[in-house]
Homo-oligomer: A and B are copies of this chain.
Amino acid sequence: MFKTFSFKTKNHAELIDITGMVRTAVKDSKVNDGTCLVFVPHTTAGLTVNENADPAVKQDIVAKLEKMIEWNDPEYKHTEKNSAAHIKSSLVGFSHAFIIHNGNLQLGNWQNIYFAEFDGPRSRSVLVHIMGK
């Protein structure tokens, strides 16, 4: 099963919970045992998994990435001036595979899946591909 989800981000940099989308795709696929590949087709955004309880974790991740990879570095050569977003994308990564077992997406108790916007707000999409039986 292959599905594309589209949505709009609201902030310049934020982590957006897409766990529900992915769980729904897994359920709809009726795959009992297999893998679910989530892929972000953008170069200024990423995909990660992190804590779903205290929202401050998301803020701390976004803030530290901004501190490590500052937006305005005079050495950046890219004319669009958003090199920081491209670098964050390569460090955080843009795709992950997840396990489906007994029809359920296998995530740890504290794990949710996040779309990482690094140069928003923009229209974005996420591709989900499910294999198995």
Contact = CB atoms under 8 A, between A and B. Distances in A.
Provide the main secondary structure of the chain A interface: mixed
A127 B26 CA distance: 18
Copies in the assembly, this chain = 3
A43 B50 contact: yes
Q: How many interface residues does chain A have, given as a range?
A: 35 or more
Given A56-B79, A60-B76, 7 more contacts: A39-B97, A43-B57, A54-B80, A57-B78, A93-B96, A95-B96, A95-B97
- Of A89, A129, A132, most buried by chain B (CB within 10 Å of CB) is A129
Interface of A: 2, 33-35, 37, 39-43, 48-51, 54, 56-57, 59-61, 63-65, 67-69, 73, 75-80, 83, 86-87, 89-99, 101, 106-111, 127, 129, 131-132
